[in-house]
Structure 1
Amino acid sequence: MASSDVIQVSSLPQPPMQYINLYTDEQIRRGRAPKPPPPIQDSYHMFGNAFNTEESIIRPLESQGIKRLYPLHFDRRRELKKLNQSLLANFLDLLDLLVNCPDSPRRAEKVEDLGLLFIHIHHLLNEFRPHQARETLRVMMELQKRQRIETANRFQKHFDRVSDILQQAIQNLPEPMELDSKIMVDDFIIKQENKGNARGDSDPCYILDRIMCNVVDNMS
């Protein structure tokens, strides 16, 4: 194979899966991922049809060169039921033609009628898409609201529980005078024990008497 052939083959558009593989985390981190295409300004083609960015998302049937089978002001549900019934009736007529006279020119007419009915049904269903999108967005927002309310309620319960624990801890704290007396008594016991050990005097009655006197003096 010549080198020119290799260049031509490599320059062809890559399959979708290979194009997706170019957007890996490593490629994006290094800045090697292809840049997205610029926004379309005027017109573009999709599925073989030309579209203009200034037009509405759902174009009317007349702009597509298709004859409208229902009036401008109508009930979509009723029209969809009528189109469904007409579709069934035309399909049965087509079956009857295929059984009795398959070479009849009416067969092509019935096929065209079925195609037109399918186009109208598809168009009416597409007109429901914006309503479906808004309803989906509303449901998503309600779900997010409910989740956030539940999270806030759980946080409030934990907050109240911590507050109760702190209040109980504060209530169980001793009074300042009692705490000071206890600290002084403990300090006095330690000092007396150290003095007794230093002079060899370990008389427990002497130490207890001094402790009681000290407690009485603090209470007075």
Structure 2
Amino acid sequence: MSDTAQVSSLPLPPMQYVTLFSEDNIKRGRTPKPPPPITDGYSMFGNPFHNDDPVIRPLESQNIRRLYPNNYDHRRELKKLNHSITASFLDLVDICIRNPESEMRAAKIDDLTLLFIHMHHLVNEFRPHQARETLRVMMEQQKRQRLEIAERFRRHYDKACELVQQAVNSIPEPVESNIKLLIDVERVQPSDGRVANQTPEESCSEEDRLMCQIIDSL
């Protein structure tokens, strides 16, 4: 049998069971295995429960006598229960003052217990609505936070665009020189390779050639 199986099979007190989840045991894989999922019924606070039970069990399933009809207004019934509890408590105080050993004292305590059970049941019936309302408030808060973050990003983006535009506008314009080179590039550099390969005689114009012949004949 492995160390894990031996550890998980030992009945240990709660605090000693917690000490088994130390860093050394976690690294070595010696922590107890989780309990298997419950497929049948279980007991919680001394009351039996089943997996297929509704979230809010009706009073009849708990063998409790119902004091209000099936179709009722929660607010109205809670107010009535509050008044009944107050009146029953005052009656109990009067009984305890007049005759503490009377049997009416136990009966009045049972009445108060039944009234508190009904009030607790009505409050629990609001739990699903409370959960939905809590979830709605959380989602609205998250939405508001995301919108605020998006708005801050937009302001930072606009500020960055403004700074970039200011930097671009602050760049000085290039100064044009007043001195211009009056050089005919086409006359300095030949336009094609044929002019570069011409001899001095071929590159002279007809008038220049005639002037040269006249001067040679003199």
SS at match of 2:67: coil
- Counterpart of 1:217 (choices 173, 180, 193) is 180
What is the letter of the counterpart of residue 121 of structure 2? H
Within 2, Cα distance between the matches of 1:97 and 1:59? Answer: 34
Q: Give the one of 121, 137, 140 matched to 2:138.
A: 140
The partner residue of 1:170 within 158, 168, 171 is 168
- What are the within-5 Å matches in structure 2 for residues 95-134 of structure 1? 95-134=93-132
Amino acid in structure 2 at the alignment position of 1:58: I
**Pair 20,135 (structure 1): closer, same or farther in 2 beyond 3 Å:** farther
Return closer, same or farther for 1:22/1:134 CA change in 2, 3 Å cut-off: farther
Q: Which residue of 2 aligns with 1:39?
A: 37
Residue in 1 aligned with 2:58? 60
Distance 1:29 1:149 in 2: 44
Tell me the equivalent position of 1:14.
13
Letter matched to residue 216 of structure 1: I
Higher Cα Rg: structure 1 or 2? 2
- Structure 2 length-normalised TM: 0.69
* Aligned equivalent of 2:150: 152
What's the CA shift for 1:59? 0.2
Counterparts of 1:122 and 1:68, CA distance in 2: 13
Cα 1:61–1:96 change in 2 (3 A) is same
The one-letter code matched in structure 1 to 2:130 is Q
The two structures have a TM-score, normalised by structure 1, of 0.68
Structure 1 unpaired stretches of 5+:
1-6, 182-213
Q: Which runs of 4+ in 1 moved over 6 A?
A: 24-27
Unaligned runs of 5+ in 2: 1-5, 184-218
1:29 and 1:151 mapped to 2: Cα distance?
41
How many residue pairs align between the two structures? 176
